[in-house]
Amino acid sequence: MSPPQESPLPVNPSRLVRASFVSRPNRFVVVAEGPDGAAVEAHMPNPGRLRELLLPGARLLLAPPPAEAPGRRPTVVAVMRGKRPVLLHTQWNNRVARWLLDRRLVPGWGDQEVVRAEVPVGGSRFDFLLRGPAGEMLVEVKSCTLFGGNCAMFPDAVTDRGRRHLEELAELARAGRRCAVLFLVHDAEVAWFSPDYHTDPAFSGTLCAVREQVRVVPLALSWNARMALDTSRIRELPVPWGHVACEQGDRGAYWLILRLDRPKTVETGALGPLAFPAGHWVYVGSAMRGLRARMARHLRRGKARHWHADYLRDAADGAEVLALRSAERRECDIARALGEVLTPGPKGFGCGDCACETHLFFSREHPLDRPEVHRVLERFRMTVPDGAE
């Protein structure tokens, strides 16, 4: 017998058009290549970064504009990750939540009914008000599209609004109201859910702080290629709270990604003048105290030069930095893993206090446009150890 599968989306899945991702000029527009090879501009209803999903050539599912507005852009509904789609439409995420709630498919909430959607409370608005034998419960819904290793994480970009929602729910809970946050995780293959303390430590810290007042429910969903849900695989994911509390401190490793628009020869302290071709250079460093301040320092120009990376930063045309927070020093392990997928840079760069050959690596294209680089990032950011609690 085949598993029960239904589509909760407000569009006939057979009308979805396949396209290939090309670029993202801004948060709300993507350029794709349509089935006929023509360039298509589509509306992106998800403001998240989505870097690990929107890789060059990624397969998108687009909803055509409504018949009454044929001049509108199509809308990105999902992106294929392997053989399964990941829902990207954040407005439809709440439709999916309502569909699950109406069918009593959220574990532990089978006795709850939806009283109202878009519930104003004070100066805020929450997604649902439920009612059950224990009384009413306010529910805020979030869409989780970041997965890797054995873990799903939220958010994939800093969300001050999401943090404020948690704080407001906790305040309401302390005043006697029942409150919950429901994370819809659009992948059923992961084993854990965690706040993304690498990207947004403030949100992560707040989620940990309010979990006794606000129920946290991460729900794994399994979509098939026809954008139908396999309702037999819906399950609540555990959260390794102890692991998160240990790892989310202001310490760990980082990637400093530097862009050179043209080849340059850079005087690099004790290493002397070094020739750097145009492209992207990734420096792996660490700070076991004050990681946030260290990363901010690396982004500034014209500072006193203490490390090899300071010289290259001043010569670079662009810079960004990614945190890989950890209670353990993993800088050299990360550098070795990155060296397996990128071209090693000058010997001795950034590794005067270890036995590594280099902590600098080269990629002609942006490294975050390469799936093998994301696999390294996932390995060190998103793997929860066996036995975690």
SS3 track for 320-375: EEEEEECCCCCHHHHHHHHHCCCEECCCCCCCCCCCCCCCEEEECCCHHHCHHHHH
The pLDDT of residue 389 is 75
Alpha-carbon gap, residue 295 to 292, rounded angstroms:
5
Q: At what angle do helices 371-381 and 331-339 cross, to 10 degrees?
A: 160
**3: preceding bond cis by omega (within 30 degrees):** no
Q: Which residues of the chain carry a pLDDT beneath 50? A: 1-2
The pLDDT of residue 69 is 72
The pLDDT of residue 26 is 95
Let me know whether 50 and 139 are in one domain.
Answer: no
* CATH assignment at residue 21: 2.40.50.580
Helix (H, G, I), strand (E, B) or coil at 384: coil
The pLDDT of residue 2 is 46
Instruction: Tell which of 247, 267, 301 closes a domain.
Output: 247
- Give domain status of residue 68, yes or no: yes
Yes or no: say if 316 and 258 are a contact pair by the CB < 8 Å rule.
Answer: yes
Instruction: Tell which of 61, 81, 101 closes a domain.
Output: 81
Let me know whether 210 and 340 are in one domain.
Answer: no
SS3 track for 219-244: EECCECCCCCEEHHHCEECCCCHHHH
Stated as kind and residue range, the H or E segment containing 377 is: helix 371-381
| Token pair for 378 | 């996932």
Instruction: Tell which of 52, 81, 110 closes a domain.
Output: 81
- Give domain status of residue 146, yes or no: yes
Read off the pTM.
0.94
The pLDDT of residue 3 is 55
Please work out, in degrees rounded to the nearest 5, the angle formed at the alpha carbon of residue 356 by the alpha carbons of 355 and 359. Answer: 140
Q: What are phi and psi of 210, to 5 degrees?
A: -100, 0
- Give domain status of residue 389, yes or no: no
Model confidence pLDDT, tens digit, residues 17-63:
999 999 999 999 999 999 999 999 999 999 999 999 999 999 999 99
Domains: count for the chain: 3
Let me know whether 21 and 169 are in one domain.
Answer: no
* Cα distances (angstroms) measured from residue 13 to each of 40, 81, 89, 181: 19, 17, 14, 28
Let me know whether 238 and 95 are in one domain.
Answer: yes
Yes or no: say if 218 and 239 are a contact pair by the CB < 8 Å rule.
Answer: yes
Helix (H, G, I), strand (E, B) or coil at 101: helix
Let me know whether 70 and 19 are in one domain.
Answer: yes
The pLDDT of residue 4 is 62
Q: Which amino acid is at 6?
A: E
Range of the domain at 197: 90-247
Long-range contacts (CB closer than 8 Å, 24 or more residues apart) made by 7-13: 7/226, 7/227, 7/228, 7/229, 8/95, 8/96, 8/99, 8/100, 8/229, 9/77, 9/92, 9/95, 9/96, 9/227, 10/92, 10/95, 11/63, 11/77, 13/226, 13/227, 13/228
| Token pair for 383 | 């793997």
